[in-house]
Chain A
Amino acid sequence: MEIVRVTEAHELAQEDQRFCDATKAWFKIDFVPKMSRVLLTVPEFGRPYGRASRRAMTDGALTRAQKELIATMVSAINVCEY
């Protein structure tokens, strides 16, 4: 169980709710991931982190799929179930 209350998307600022909508479209999902909501609980952290994340995961010299594999590998080595 989480040790903090995870902010609901509708509790976020309008600007951040728009970013959450973009996140749903990015991942082709119909909910806002907990991580997005946790990061945006402190917008001064979540906004730049979100921009860095979106920028990093876009197709470049490596494809988005390859980058998702790298992310999965990091999660596996860190034994992170989330």
Chain B
Amino acid sequence: MAYVAGVTHALNAVADGLRLPPEFSPSPREPLLPLPELATASPEVKAVFDEIVGFYALDRPPAVFRWMARDVGFLQSYWAATRQAFTDGALDRRIKEILAFAASMTGKSDYGVDFHLREARRLGLTDQALTEAVEVIQLFNTVTKIADALRLQPDFDTGTSGQPGAQHPAASSTPPGAA
């Protein structure tokens, strides 16, 4: 989950920071900087784009990856990391996309909400599950702000606060496949 959080947050930061238009929703946004033309992409870039298009079942590479094609080495390495983060593992790809949607909504990323909502739906997210996910997102955006506003210290001793607290359950006590 941490890899999904990191990659999603980073891609959203770049996409929204560069004003890249959402992939699937109408938007007046114009990129701050021009994206490399697809027609002039090198064979190395095309190979990565083909993989991305296949992974997401798209007819074109997402703008955030087109931006990275300015440097093929960066595109190749970051895409490989992204693919790994979102591939089925202890968590399946659908829940990873739901988590990326939650990260995007919480981070107020227009690009990310649009992208990950489409991808989660493509992978089987139902309207009922979407409603439930948004409920949880809303509730925990509430409590995290209340906790921060009141500077609540964690209930569990994470070993970093120096404050007394209950023993945090061992990480291994929750089977990774439980989700």
Q: A residues bordering B, Cβ < 8 Å?
A: 1-4, 6, 29-31, 33-35, 38-39, 49, 52-53, 56-57, 60-63, 65-67, 69-78, 80-82
Chain A residue nearest in CB terms to B152: A82
**8 Å CB contact of B136 from A38, A70, A80:** A70
Q: Is the interface of A mostly helix, strand, loop or mixed?
A: helix
Are A1 and B151 interface neighbours, CB within 8 A?
yes
Stretch at the interface among B27-35, B66-74, B77-85, B99-107: B99-107
Are B99 and A70 interface neighbours, CB within 8 A?
yes
Tell me which residues across on chain B come within 8 A of A80, comparing CB atoms: 144, 147-148
Instruction: Tell me the complex Cα distance, A61–B1, Å.
Output: 20
Are A78 and B166 interface neighbours, CB within 8 A?
no
Within 8 A of A (CB), among B93-140: 95, 98-99, 102-103, 106-107, 126, 128-129, 132-133, 135-137, 139-140
Q: B residues bordering A, Cβ < 8 Å?
A: 1-2, 4-5, 9, 91, 95, 98-99, 102-103, 106-107, 126, 128-129, 132-133, 135-137, 139-148, 150-155, 158, 161, 166, 174, 178-179
CB distance from A63 to the nearest CB of B (A): 7
Are A66 and B146 interface neighbours, CB within 8 A?
no
